[in-house]
Amino acid sequence: MTEKHVKVLVLGSGPAGLSAALYAARAELEPIVLTGMQLGGQAALTHTIENYPGFPEGVGGAQLGELFQKQAENFGAKVEFNMAHEVDLSQRPFTVKTDDGDYKAETLIVTTGANPNHLEIPGEVELTGRGVSYCATCDGWFFKDKRVVIVGGGDSAFEEALFITRYASSVTLIHRREEFRAGAILQNRAKEHPKMNFILDTVVTEVVGTDKLTALKLKNVKTGQESTFETDGLFIFIGHTPNSQMFKGQLEMSDLGYVLVNDKMETSVEGVYAAGEIADPHFRQVITSAGMGAAAAIQATKFLEEKETVHG
């Protein structure tokens, strides 16, 4: 097994990780990015990103990720298709264990993101990939001229619902409350769309089907009334859980498992920074994640400069 020494190691390859790599590379720190499972992060699964500056016509999520990567690599960053599965932050250099060997990192930038939450109801796991999905961009095409249900009430639920209207014959958005968290523009766009329908104050209690999804069992949270709703697809957008398990007991976290950082992206361990959705339960935008990644790399650069000055 190999052991690599690196000044800046970035865990994760979404907008935060690749922005951090770009800034660290421009500081001639030769950062290494470990991609994790999803090259480009969650953003790469988004069909069109309309709110990233510089792209007035919008840009594909995967395409934007490729541009981020190319720019970072142009300045000397190395992107390695590898995944960390254990870290030791008790002393510098920090040790990061992967399938391909160990990394010894002078500084660590954690951008491991967050994964979609599940409803935790009967049939959900069994029928994932057979009608149940968490990514409209990945699976929307399979529901051409079919009926689809979306669960959620935030921006992502509305964005994905509107995306699926280009394929599905009807899209029904089910939400446990009457009010939505989604922005007004998205809400108006959805409410005006001829294919969109809404069922409010309602939860899905079971996913029905043997080989594939055929129906959902619903319950009105106010009246308690139960019903069955026939559908071909269920897309779930009810928030995310941060990928922070690896850092439990080593970095300070919120009750929800988000890594706590200050305004300089510094974690509770000196020399370790966090950026993007691993440390951001609020904004969760490509632009804010990219900004956090840049800030983390700037601080890592300053940290290394100060250490060299002290020891130099």
Q: Catalytic residue at 263? A: no
Backbone angles phi, psi at 200, to 5 degrees: -105, 165
DSSP string, 51-107: SSTT-TT-B-HHHHHHHHHHHHHHTT-EEE---EEEEE-SSSSEEEEETTEEEEEEE
Give, for 132, the enclosing helix (H) or strand (E).
strand 132-133
Q: What is the dihedral of CA 249, 252, 258, 264, to 10 degrees?
A: -140
Among residues 88, 99, 100, 138, the one annotated as catalytic is: 138
Among residues 88, 100, 102, 135, the one annotated as catalytic is: 135
Q: Catalytic residue at 139? A: yes
Cβ distance 248 to 204 under 8 Å? no
Among residues 88, 100, 102, 139, the one annotated as catalytic is: 139
Preceding amide of 93 cis, omega within 30: yes
Q: Catalytic residue at 88? A: no
Residues identified as active-site: 135, 138-139
